[in-house]
Amino acid sequence: MKIKWTLFLGLFLGVALPVMAQDDLLNELNQDTKAKEKVAAAFKGVQVCTMQSTKMAAKGEWYFLVSHRFGDLSNGFDNFFGLDNALTKIGGLYGPTEWLTLGVARHTLGKTYELSGKYRLFTQEVDGFPFTIVGYHTIDINSQLEKEEYPELNAIDRFSFSNQLLISRKFSENFSAQMTPIYIHKNLYEPTEENANQALLALGGRYKFSKRCSFNLEYAYRFNTPDNDPYYNPLTFGVDVETGGHIFQLVVSNSQAMNDIRYFTSATGNFDKGIYFGFNLYRVF
């Protein structure tokens, strides 16, 4: 009997232990897989409103973009509610890899050419890392500056730079938020009105109120402004509309500029006077 029980026990352990070990291993693999599951994009558009979001072009994707900001709505019929003084941005984005997006754009304001690079550092995970973190940099080249206005103008004076760290979190299917520390440097600036180096902290959010529509809001606080600063902190709200391969954004802002450097540092409106309506349109290829 002892021999039989010994054989039975040995057979049971020989079968049960590998099965139990296999179950434990499968549980660990499932947990690892769940921990590494990526969270879908916190924002549908590559911009929250005007500021950049952590959304990026997928590998091999091309984006064609057109942005428009009409003139000051508060002037009424004097400028036909902004239609007489519209600004335009035309550009494109390309994703050579999943983690990198490159862009080029041309703005009518200042006849500015803008080069941009956006790269993903971390991605939010379902039960893992809590944020998506993306680096973003722009170079602006102002081609409108003239020697007659600036006799000592050099080519390098046309350049301005922005450096941003985009940190977003998707809290639910309907709500996402983003925080963005920003550093801006201008080679040419007005000493009495602005500083060559400026620091900001921007906040943005998105609330999805239907299957294809969301309400977006963004605000940036400027830290080191001069005493006689004539500008305001930029504030913009808008609506995203997804239409197949298009993403259409309607926005209202206190800043008419659309390039990051002027948008963040030179907002002229306070919503009493200085209200600018516009849109961003993206076509994905």
pLDDT digits (tens, 9 = 90+) for 204-236: 999 999 988 999 999 999 998 888 889 999 999
Decide which of 211 and 75 is more confident: 211
Judged against a pLDDT cut of 80, whether residue 54 lies above it is answered with yes
Question: CA-to-CA distance for 55 and 151, rounded, in angstroms?
Answer: 42
Average pLDDT of the segment spanning 164-185: 97
Assigned token pair, 215: 């309400």
Give 89's strand partners: 67, 107
Assigned token pair, 275: 């209200």
- The pLDDT score that the predictor gives to residue 62 is 93
Average pLDDT of the chain is: 85
Asked whether 107 and 87 are in contact (CB, 8 A), the reply is yes
Instruction: Name the most confidently modeled range: 5-9, 133-137, 192-196.
Output: 133-137
- The pLDDT score that the predictor gives to residue 29 is 45
Judged against a pLDDT cut of 80, whether residue 14 lies above it is answered with no
Asked whether 273 and 72 are in contact (CB, 8 A), the reply is yes
- The pLDDT score that the predictor gives to residue 13 is 40
Longest dimension (CA), the chain: 110
- The pLDDT score that the predictor gives to residue 244 is 73
Average pLDDT of the segment spanning 158-175: 96
- The pLDDT score that the predictor gives to residue 78 is 67
Question: CA-to-CA distance for 172 and 153, rounded, in angstroms?
Answer: 51
- The pLDDT score that the predictor gives to residue 148 is 66
pLDDT digits (tens, 9 = 90+) for 17-43: 444 444 554 555 455 544 579 998 899
- The pLDDT score that the predictor gives to residue 1 is 43
Assigned token pair, 11: 């057979």
What sign does the dihedral 121-124-125-127 (CA atoms) show? Answer: positive
The DSSP output letter for 232 is B
Decide which of 34 and 86 is more confident: 86
Judged against a pLDDT cut of 50, whether residue 16 lies above it is answered with no
177-209 as b/e, with b when 16 or more CB fall inside 10 Å?
A: bbebebebebeebeeeebbeebebebebbbebe
The DSSP secondary structure of 17-38, one letter per residue, reads HHHHHHHHHHHHHHHHHHHTPB
- The pLDDT score that the predictor gives to residue 81 is 58
Question: CA-to-CA distance for 153 and 76, rounded, in angstroms?
Answer: 38
- Going by their DSSP bridges, the two strands 159-170 and 132-142 should be labelled as antiparallel
| Domain regions of the chain by residue span | 36-284
Residue 223 identity: F
CA distances from 12 to 16, 20, 26, 212 (A): 6, 12, 21, 57
- The pLDDT score that the predictor gives to residue 159 is 95
Which of 19-33, 129-143, 190-204 has the least mean pLDDT? 19-33
36-284, what's its fold? Porin (2.40.160)
